[in-house]
Amino acid sequence: MLRGAGPGLGKTIAARARAWRVASSPDPGAARARPAPEALWLVVQHPDSFTAARALVMRVRGMGVTAPIMLGLAFDHRAADTVLPDGTCVRRLQDAPRAIDALLQEARPAVVVLVGDTLWPTLLARVRAHGARVFVVAPGAPAMPGAWRLWSGQARRLAGALDRVFVADGRDRAAWQAGGVGDDRVEITGPLSSSIGAVACNDAERAALSEQLRLRPVWLALGVPDGEDEAVIAAHGAALRLSHRLVLVLHPDDPARGAALRARLASRFAVAQRSRDEPLGPDSQVYVADTEDECGLWYRLATICYMGGSFSDSGSLRDPMEPAALGAAVVHGPQAGPHARAFRQLRIKGGSLAVTRTTQLGAAISRLIEPDQAARLAQAAWEVTSEGAAASERVAEAIVAALGEGRAGP
């Protein structure tokens, strides 16, 4: 068994219709003598690509694909337990014969998508032998792992066997063509989006809260851990001095903290609590949003969103592309957490405002209360999410078309 391997993958995949399971590297002894269903595999080589791959899975599911999906990670990831529909996540996957063969016995892929620029010889040889179509979503020029780098001929043979390569720009396109991929099989799409698109909400609840707010400015502190409570409270106090009608929607990382937060805030602010169904009155200054699965509602009400956790060791556990896709100006601290790629995309394009110390948060919120300031950030962020969405949509369409064609044959 590979080092770090967990329970047999067979039992995990058998329960796939009911829940998303997370496993360690598979145990080849868990294979069963039964026909293997044709599946879609996504193999992700770097943590920065995790959220984009997860979003791609969601897009493929949204296009009606019901085939089994395996998301193989070459690493462990803090957000790997995130629920995805009817899929299996394999962590610490290696390009080793036993690991790949065990997966092939469980679910023979019709399409394999390698998210990364390093060609895995064992993976590609095994899945091609089973007739799978192979796509690569490449963040850079092609590479070979370890000692394989010495075998330039092998690299060209593997690259030449790829069905499609999707790259971010013309420079990478030229590199893959020079590496042996035919001109007609390399497509420039731009970088994939890490967002699954606009997060849904209850429209009736949104209309009711909008009526209670009566066009008052709103900022959201999302997924705030207890270590950042005081920074958020202080920032709100500072911003209220400039805009006395401002409302803070305070969304704690743990809804169970809602009652304690309400009690703590009540001596300083007029507070309403979501879980107690308390209305937002004309004098309300803080709304404790201590419920599950309503982030889409808060994104739509707020024009500014602070990504909670970005001043903590864990980093932000929420994807900043979610509020950005719905027009909120994103503010964050220095710790990106599992969504580093998304934060980097926004920062490079001017779609977020980064602050380095908690004492700067109040000034950042005060600055963005000005509509033109928030609008500038929100517009840049929307352009980032739109650009990435088009790339993800194109790759998802190609995957769905290939799944419709089935395996190419051994």
Residues 369 and 224 in one domain: yes
- 402 domain-assigned: no
Q: Are residues 186 and 207 in the same domain?
A: no
**Same domain for 251 and 163:** no
Confidence of residue 205 (pLDDT cuts 50, 70, 90): very high
Q: What backbone torsions phi and psi does residue 143 show, to the nearest 5 degrees? A: -145, 165
Residue 109 has which token pair? 């892929």
**Residue 396 domain-assigned?**
no
What phi-psi label fits residue 159: left (phi over 0), alpha (psi between -120 and 50 degrees) or beta?
A: alpha
Q: Look at residue 399 and tell me if it is in a domain.
A: no
Environment class of 387 (CB within 10 Å of its CB; exposed 0-12, middle 13-18, buried 19+): middle
Distance, CA of 349 to CA of 212 (rounded, Å):
35
Q: Is residue 321 within 8 Å of residue 385, measured between CB atoms?
A: yes
The reply to whether 29 and 157 lie within a common domain is: yes
- Who contacts 308 (Cβ-Cβ below 8 Å, separation ≥6)? 221, 222, 223, 224, 225, 228, 232, 251, 253, 316, 318
Q: How high does pLDDT run on average in the chain?
A: 86
Q: How far is CA 51 from the centre of its chain?
A: 3
Residue 263 lies in a domain: yes
Burial of 85 (0-12, 13-18, 19+ CB in 10 A): middle
User: Around 126, how many Cα atoms within 13 Å sit in the side-chain half-sphere?
Assistant: 20
Do residue 56 and residue 176 come from a single domain? yes
- Return the minimum-mean-pLDDT range out of 40-44, 84-88, 272-276, 294-298: 84-88
186 in any annotated domain: yes
Same domain, 230 and 185: no
Virtual torsion, Cα 44, 49, 50, 56, nearest 10 deg: -90
CA distance 165 to 116: 10
Give the structural domain span for 142: 9-190
Q: What whole-number percentage of the chain has pLDDT above 90? A: 64
Residue 154 has pLDDT above 80, yes or no: no
Q: What's the domain count of the chain?
A: 2
166 and 306 part of one domain:
no
Residue 406: pLDDT band with limits 50, 70, 90? confident
Please name the amino acid found at residue 288. V
Output the pLDDT for position 199.
Answer: 84
Looking at 190, 221, 248, which one is the last position of a domain?
190
Q: Does the pLDDT at position 112 exceed 50?
A: yes
For residues 207 and 315, membership in a common domain is answered with: yes
Residue type, 373: Q
The whole-number average pLDDT for the span 301-307 is 97
Looking up residue 52, the CATH number of its domain turns out to be 3.40.50.11720
Q: Are residues 176 and 27 in the same domain?
A: yes
| Residue 395 confidence (pLDDT) | 97
- Confidence check: pLDDT of 25 > 50: no
Paired with 115 in beta bridges are 44, 137
Same domain? For 102 and 226 the reply is: no
Are residues 24 and 68 located together in one domain of the fold? yes
Region 373-385 average pLDDT:
89
Q: How confident is the model at residue 21 (pLDDT cuts 50, 70, 90)?
A: very low
- Residue 143 has a pLDDT of 87
Judge whether 410 lies within some domain: no
Q: Check whether residue 179 and residue 49 sit in a common domain.
A: yes
Q: How many other β-carbons are positioned within 10 Å of the β-carbon of residue 58?
A: 18
Looking at residue 78, what is its pLDDT?
A: 67
The residue with greater pLDDT, 269 or 87, is: 269
**Best CA proximity match to 122, nearest among 141, 140, 103:** 103
Q: Within a domain: residue 288?
A: yes
Domain boundary among 160, 190, 220: 190
CATH of the domain at 382: 3.40.50.2000
For residue 376, is it within any domain? yes
- pLDDT: is 110 or 77 the higher one? 110
| pTM of the predicted protein model | 0.73
Q: What is the pLDDT of residues 73-93, one digit of tens each?
A: 999 876 665 546 567 889 999
Q: Is the pLDDT of residue 33 over 50?
A: no
Residues 207-260 pLDDT 10s: 999 999 999 999 999 999 999 999 999 999 999 999 999 999 999 999 999 999
